[in-house]
A and B are shown apart, each in its own frame.
Chain A
Amino acid sequence: MQGLTLRMDDFLRRVLGPSGRAGPPVSRGALAATVLIAGPLYGAVMGSYAFSSAERLLMVLYAAIKMPVLIFGTGALCLPGFFVLSTVLGLRDDLGRSLRAIFSGQAALVLVLASLAPITRFVYTCGIGHSGAILFNAAMFTVATLAAQVVLWRLYRPLVQRDRRHLAMLWAWLLLYAFVGMQMGWMLRPFVGSPDQAVTFFREEPFSNAYEVIARMIVGR
């Protein structure tokens, strides 16, 4: 048990801590495995809102599946663009390091989310409303995203110091990822699931566009 704790401690320090201080960096495979394990963990807790019937257990499963789909799906759509842009900017030789920084950021996101899962479950138990649960999860995602940004920028710093073009590439990645990720999240909803509605993997209504909805909300139509 102690060995496991030590190994976990070592792993967390290598993913989340300043690079070079806690041993060699984690492999990309291990980072992907982290997303596959820690992502569903938070997803399951997120979907565990309002156990009014046995059917609601399905929501736990659905939300657990959706988390890595959200992260990997968004990444897979953005990677071709990132690859070509990096090549054109003359940063292909550093692609391995850039990708490691990006994967580390994603692993950090799910690790922080997983660590916040008990708090989310606790808040659900306290009897929060559906809208409140959605807002709370949004807050947890914000915290985890900030932590992921710290890891990402920390790993990118030496690259940027070596070549300023990495900064442009990092911003390009963040903008692309946020743009696609928002629509991916919108398509994959519900993650929490309203207790008044039947449990479904996707909403029964046809797919719609998140930005169109926002545009209409701004204009008020």
Chain B
Amino acid sequence: MERTSWIGQLDGLLRGQRTTGSALRAGIIDVPLRVFVPLAVLLGGSYGFFMGWFALSMRDSEHRMEAMKQLAASTVKLPMLFLLTLFVTFPSLYVFNALVGCRLGFKSALRLLVAAIVVNLAVGASLGPILAFFTLSTKSYAFMVLLNVVLLAIAGCVGLGFLLRTLRRIEAEAREEALQKAQLEETFSDEVEEPAPLGQQMASKLTAMKPPVRAEVESGAANGIFQIWVIIYALVGAQMSWLLRPFIGNPAMEFTLFRHRDGNFFSSVIDHIGKLFGM
């Protein structure tokens, strides 16, 4: 087995080499979880680390300990947000995948979703220096909240783009495979038209084995499953982020690991836009 460093494997994923047509045709999504889950933790942790800087820059030396706690909490919470959301949503995502007619198995679906999360977090981590720069030069909590929402939205869009591209590739590969199978079988059936009992048996066996191609790879399955996945994951993810807050740490409030469970993510974003404009 080829041994590649974690960075090499991450690079391969970002370049799309791990989700090429040939790999997908063989039914493989080459994203080993023992490598990519820790990578998601590392990349998410690095973005969370930059996110937690705001608490450090805003609190005086007396409250330095609280700021350090916030920094540690943000570093841990950010990867948790993505992985816990996946943990909560995966059963439903997997079932809908089967319902829509996508041919991904349990492991493949999990690997694909982890891969999309890693891509998402890699983009987020790469935007980390920009976040750190604004953290050091900004006192406005509302601005930092909105900046984080925008940066994570950019990273999220790229992650979703990766997911959609891969799903479409899987669909195209499956269609091509089904077509080839059908052609092969047609040729084979022609050959066994002669009354040869063994040939007939094999032909009937093949027909029995023949997968329900139309049902397995229904047209537009990629778009369908993508839309369902995005809606489920985004809704649960938004609420999970609300549950796990604070991520940045409002400097006007005491440090707490979790806040009271009131309000929701979307009303908070609208509230912060109002605050930025001094309304």
Instruction: Give residues in A with beta carbon < 8 Å to B.
Output: 76-78, 80-81, 83-85, 87-88, 90, 92, 176, 179-180, 183-184, 186-187, 206-209, 211-212, 215-216, 218-219, 221
Contacts and interface: CB of A to CB of B under 8 A. Distances in A.
B136 A90 contact: no
B137 A208 contact: yes
A81 B151 CA distance: 10
A201 B8 CA distance: 43
B134 A209 contact: yes
A77 B125 CA distance: 12
Contacts of B119: 88
A207 B137 contact: yes
A218 B273 CA distance: 13
Interface residues of B, number: 28
Given A212-B143, A219-B278, A80 B126 contact: yes
Contacts of B126: 80-81, 83-85
A92 B15 contact: yes
- Judged by DSSP, the binding face of A is helix
A215 B137 contact: no
- Judged by DSSP, the binding face of B is helix
A77 B278 contact: no
B47 to A, nearest CB: 12
Given A85-B123, A88-B162, 14 more contacts: A81-B129, A84-B14, A90-B15, A92-B15, A180-B133, A184-B133, A206-B139, A207-B137, A207-B138, A208-B137, A209-B134, A209-B138, A212-B276, A219-B278
A29 to B, nearest CB: 23
Interface of B: 11, 14-16, 119, 122-123, 125-130, 133-134, 136-140, 143, 158, 161-162, 276-279
B109 to A, nearest CB: 21
A85 B124 CA distance: 10
Contacts of B162: 88
Contact of B129 (A80, A88, A184): A80
Contact of B134 (A183, A216, A218, A221): A183
A-B complex: 9 closest residue pairs judged by Cβ atoms: A84-B126, A207-B137, A209-B138, A80-B126, A87-B14, A221-B278, A81-B126, A212-B140, A81-B127
B122 A77 contact: no
A179 B154 CA distance: 14
Contacts of B14: 84, 87-88
Contact of B277 (A80, A83, A215): A215
29 contacts: A77-B129, A77-B130, A80-B125, A80-B126, A80-B127, A81-B123, A81-B127, A83-B126, A84-B14, A84-B122, A85-B126, A87-B15, A88-B119, A88-B158, A176-B130, A180-B130, A183-B134, A184-B133, A187-B137, A206-B139, A208-B138, A209-B138, A209-B140, A212-B143, A212-B276, A215-B278, A216-B278, A218-B277, A221-B278
